[in-house]
Structure formats: structure tokens, C-alpha cells
Chain A
Amino acid sequence: GIQVEQSPPDLILQEGANSTLRCNFSDSVNNLQWFHQNPWGQLINLFYIPSGTKQNGRLSATTVATERYSLLYISSSQTTDSGVYFCAPHNAGNMLTFGGGTRLMVKP
């Protein structure tokens, strides 16, 4: 099956800093989603992005499907951005394969 690698696994930022999270995947995919998992476990959809670039406030994402990677940019980070960020390419059908996640801590 498809392999998904996320980097970095852990990230500590000072409030206000910018960061880039990377997701590499081993095979062509139909689509890709980025999630933020909050401390209660809820997965929050951030982006649904098979290719190209999308922006939503301080967050943006870029997927280069031909090169099999996606990037999530967080600008002007806030303490509420803390949590785990997952990328999940769509496999055959609509099942998702999750990467290992990036655990982000934003310090005040």
C-alpha cells in the first residue's frame, strides 16, 4: 500500500513564528486531506487539496501531485495551533492513509 511520511515529527515554535510541514507519499493519489487533531482527539479538516495551492487565513497548503508531496504552511503561529497535524492521501476508494503526524507545540 501507499507509504506516507511526514516531517518533522515534532516541532516547537515561539508564538508568531512561521513553519512548513511536509508530507511525502509513495504513489499517485486521487486526493489528499490535511487535518489538525485537537487535544480531545477531534480531527478538523484543514484542506482538501489534490493539487495546487489553497489558503485559509493563516494556513495554506500546496500539493505537487506529480512529485508526490504536499506542504502545509502555518504563518504567525498561535498557541491554539498546537496539536498534531496529519496529512492523509486518498487510497483506492475513499479510505485515507495517514502519515505519522507532526506534533506542534506553540509557546507563548
Chain B
Amino acid sequence: GAVVSQHPSRVICKSGTSVKIECRSLDFQATTMFWYRQFPKQSLMLMATSNEGSKATYEQGVEKDKFLINHASLTLSTLTVTSAHPEDSSFYICSAGPNRGMGSLQYFGAGTRLSVL
């Protein structure tokens, strides 16, 4: 199946620093990628839709100035957590699919575990 690579897998940082997470589609092009967040023992919640060449679409309650998304190419989307604080500590996962059609199969990266001290 298609491969989605996410990097880094684990980040530990001090409060106030910014952290960039990369999501790459390795063997297909993706005009759209999705970013999810998962707190401990909870489900995954969609944060935003990353659109190649245009602005991301954020879900209600997600601060666009805090979670900057850049989808500059058809194989790469980045999520930057700006001025991270302990409450931003979470598991961040991206997904993408090789087909544009509605309901097409989505593949997930391995996730990034962010710990803010």
C-alpha cells in the first residue's frame, strides 16, 4: 500500500519553543493531507485539512496562528506548533491518500509524540 512518512517520531522541548513536524507521501502525490491530534486514552480529533498551494482549513477550536500548516509541494505538509506549552503535549498524526475521489483510502503516518516541559 501507499506510504506516509512522518518525522520526527518524538520531540521533547521547552515551553515557548516552536516545533515543526513533517508529513510526506513517499510514493504518491497528495493535494490534500489531514492533521489529527490524540490526547492520552482519547480518540483522534481532526485539527486541520492541509491543501497544496492554498491555505489550510482548520476545525473549530483549533488556533490557526498556533498551529501553522504549510503544504508547499504535492508530497509534503508541515505542521508547526508555535510557542509550545505543556497543554500542547499530545500525539500528532497526519494522513493522506493517493486518490482524490470521495471516500478514498487514507494512509496514516507513524505519528509524532510531543512533550512540552
Contact residues of A with B, CB < 8 Å?
Answer: 29-31, 33, 35, 40-43, 45, 48, 50, 86, 88, 90, 92-101
Contact = CB atoms under 8 A, between A and B. Distances in A.
30 contacts: A29-B103, A30-B102, A30-B103, A33-B105, A33-B106, A35-B108, A40-B110, A41-B38, A41-B111, A43-B44, A43-B93, A43-B108, A48-B105, A86-B43, A86-B44, A93-B32, A94-B97, A94-B102, A94-B103, A94-B106, A96-B34, A96-B44, A96-B46, A96-B106, A97-B46, A98-B43, A98-B44, A98-B45, A100-B42, A100-B43
Chain B contact surface mostly = strand
Interface in B30-66: 32, 34, 36, 38, 42-46, 49
B95 interface: yes
Contacts, number: 64
